[in-house]
Structure 1
Amino acid sequence: MNNTISPFTRYRRWGLWALLAAAAIALGVWAFRPRPLVVEVAAVTQGRFEQAIEEDGQLRLKHRYLIAAPTLAELARPTLKVGDAVRAGEVVATLSPVAPQMIDARTRGVLQQRVGSADAARRATAAQVQRLDTALAQARLEAQRAAKLASENFIAASALDQAVLAERSARQALDAGRAELSAAEFALAEARAALARAEPGARTEGLWTLKSPVDGRVVRLHLDSAAPVTAGQPLLEIGDTSVVEAVIDVLSGEVRQIAPGAPVQLSLGGGAPAIEGRVARVEPVAFTKVSALGIEEQRVNVIVDLAPGVPGLGDGFRVDARIRVSAQDDALLVPSAALVRDGSGWRVFVLEGGRALARPVTLKERNAEVAWIAQGLQAGQSVLLYPGSTVRDGQAVRVRGSP
């Protein structure tokens, strides 16, 4: 019996073992090879880039008027409450004046000074109304000129919008100036009446009624019961609740970016629609405010004009403001979460062929949501979000949710 193994059988056995070894090696390589990193991506788009400053603030009445006692008197118990509506010329307070012989020379001197001060305020307000009237006429001409140029495509539509808004602002300023003039005339009439009642021999029979200089609502009562009052003592405040403005305090380092006329969006919260406004002025004086972290900050008030007649607003309401400081159409945009520091510059990781490829980019501007890329990318490319330190150039990646 011959037990000799043929060369063919021997080679077949060795081939089988080689195949098994190769399969084991391949399985090991497959099991231990680096797996693609699961990532999230976003598309590079072209659109409008806006740079904005977001801060909170509060609303306040644009026009409020203080009703004060013109002389020594006894105030009758007020019948008005905070929030009550009043009309111009309506009685808002009733006084019982004291006898003239009870008024000393010093008080009479104060009343004379009040007459002079009220008269000077009235004349200054009248001059301001004339200036505002002239400014409105100029703004109206500019708006008409801008409308004609826009119809002939000589200026952009945004320039026409600015001219129209300037005319509207000038008209509102003139209306406010006229209301101030009416209040100044009321104040002068009351000061003269108080001085006349303080003269020796003047008749003091009857009650003295104080009237509202404007249409509005009672926004504050300084006294809510009968009491003796002195000359100049505040009694109540009346405001026009249909015309409010917003006061937004901004860091002094950022306020230089804000120009008068900049558009503003105000949010009251609670799902209420945003309110549009415009920056009226930036106050030239800063103040110190302690932040929630206990850090002292220098801040500046930015005053924002709102369209009149916006319902649901009140004095002292808190608002969140978004002040737009710059805008650019057709900008190349990527999410800010895609940016990675690269020395003094920036880079992003572009997804190509299942791999993350590093691309240096030139950054124009950025905000909390998106970045405006000047060079280095093209619209339609996909970039990795939140790449962190685990992503390397050329690394295999897989988009989350893809097979």
Structure 2
Amino acid sequence: MMIPRPLVLLLSLLIATSSAHSADEVEAIPTVRIGARALASAIVAEASIEAVRQSTLAAQVPGRVVQLAADAGDAVRAGQVLLRIDAAEASQAVAAADADVARAEAGLTEARANLARSRSLFERKFVSQAVLDQAQAAFDAAAAQLRAARAGRGQAASVQGHAAVAAPFAGVIAARYIEAGEMAQPGRELLTLYDPAALRAVVDLPQQRLAQLGTGPVKARIELPGQQRVFEAASVTVLPAADARTHTVRVRVELPPGSNDVVPGTYARVHFLSAATRRLTVPAAAVLRRGELTAVYVAEGRGGFSLRQLRLGDTISDDTGRPAVEVLAGLGEGDVVALDPVQAGIVARARQGK
């Protein structure tokens, strides 16, 4: 049966129009060529902030607290008196030590005079060698007793000096554990002081994750999620020992100068950066995720797209700061993928239906 010529022309026009629309749709979908670039992998670990210099001051003498000169949150200078303990007992000990020193000095004076007298009599043959030896021994004993009395006096004075608790360095009072009027006993904690100019993040990193950082110098960033702040680490120190119970290694990450407003105990995240290696990445917007399917649409030479399943790695940022994903398998360098997987899928299904 012959098809009328006008109908043949109409069908040809519809096919050409459909092909033109399909070609236009393919050209309208943005694409990107996949390439490898040098990237540093990151390991994220939870951490807490601690002070490099922190000291808990404890009582060294018994007594009642008679003065509190500082409280939690106060900034103090080195040598500033923070707390005083009643030193009545210590003062009595010093007075008793002074009396012992005076008695020992008097005994030494008497022993010196006896030794001089015995030496003079011995030279004139009025006393024997034994008498002179006894005088010498008495003098030596009196001198030793004086040294012991003076040492006891120094010890008592030192204890009396511990009644005033002073700051060992300039810093901020983190906590106070005693009230005015309470009894202090040797060893009881009184105050905690830290230096806000030197802080660090402390991480317990599993040994297998530590091995991923390599053997070279480790770089890191400290993130404070609660404050929306990020610091570049001044230095990273990996302690040369592992915890036998948890099999973790303690890592200290120093905060840079100027982070004085951060307080110890703050929750932090540390991003460890390893040495850069060449890795294949694809923009995160190009990845299609449907249940367990993770794939992209790859441009074909015939002007269409085909779905290709991927195995992905870490999420990172590309050169423009947009999120990208490391490709472990499924793509090769030079492949062209669609940046709009939804539209690419529509085009691919339309071609399959022809």
**TM-score normalised over the length of structure 2:** 0.58
Q: Summarize the alignment of residues 3-402 of structure 1 with structure 2, pairs less than 5 Å apart.
A: 15-16=3-4, 19-20=6-7, 23=10, 41-45=31-35, 47-97=37-87, 99=89, 196-197=155-156, 208-251=163-206, 253-258=208-213, 261-269=217-225, 270-282=227-239, 284-285=242-243, 301-328=250-277, 332-335=280-283, 349-353=297-301, 354-356=303-305, 366-369=313-316, 370-371=325-326, 376-378=332-334, 382-384=336-338, 395=348
Q: Deviations over 1:75-130 (max 9, x none)?
A: 22422122222222221221113637999xxxxxxxxxxxxxxxxxxxxxxxxxxx
> Quick one: distance in 1 between partners of 2:161 and 2:235?
50
Indicate conservation of the 8 Å contact 2:60/2:159, yes or no.
Answer: no
User: How many angstroms does 1:360 deviate by?
Assistant: 9.8
Q: SS at 2:221's partner residue?
A: strand
Indicate conservation of the 8 Å contact 1:217/1:241, yes or no.
Answer: yes
Distance 1:203 1:223, change over 3 A: closer
> Quick one: distance in 2 between partners of 1:253 and 1:86?
43
> Quick one: distance in 1 between partners of 2:243 and 2:181?
41
> Quick one: distance in 2 between partners of 1:204 and 1:350?
82
Q: 5+ unaligned residues in a row in structure 2: which ranges? A: 94-150, 317-324
Amino acid at match of 1:284: A
Distance 1:57 1:27, change over 3 A: same
Indicate conservation of the 8 Å contact 1:244/1:306, yes or no.
Answer: yes
Q: SS at 1:223's partner residue?
A: coil
**TM-score normalised over the length of structure 1:** 0.52
Indicate conservation of the 8 Å contact 2:175/2:192, yes or no.
Answer: yes
User: How many angstroms does 1:233 deviate by?
Assistant: 0.8
User: How many angstroms does 1:268 deviate by?
Assistant: 2.3
Indicate conservation of the 8 Å contact 1:337/1:385, yes or no.
Answer: yes
Q: 5+ unaligned residues in a row in structure 1: which ranges? A: 1-10, 104-191, 289-297, 399-403
User: How many angstroms does 1:66 deviate by?
Assistant: 1.6
Indicate conservation of the 8 Å contact 1:277/1:305, yes or no.
Answer: yes
Structure-1 residue corresponding to 2:130:
none
> Quick one: distance in 2 between partners of 1:280 and 1:98?
48
Highest CA radius of gyration, 1 or 2?
2
Indicate conservation of the 8 Å contact 1:58/1:317, yes or no.
Answer: yes
Indicate conservation of the 8 Å contact 2:297/2:307, yes or no.
Answer: yes
Indicate conservation of the 8 Å contact 2:306/2:348, yes or no.
Answer: yes
Distance 1:71 1:21, change over 3 A: same
Indicate conservation of the 8 Å contact 1:96/1:208, yes or no.
Answer: yes
Q: How many residues align?
A: 273
Structure-2 residue corresponding to 1:165:
none
User: How many angstroms does 1:42 deviate by?
Assistant: 3.6
Q: SS at 1:368's partner residue?
A: strand
User: How many angstroms does 1:74 deviate by?
Assistant: 1.4
User: How many angstroms does 1:340 deviate by?
Assistant: 9.3
Distance 1:328 1:206, change over 3 A: closer
Q: SS at 2:211's partner residue?
A: helix
Distance 1:91 1:373, change over 3 A: same
Aligned CA-pair RMSD: 4.9
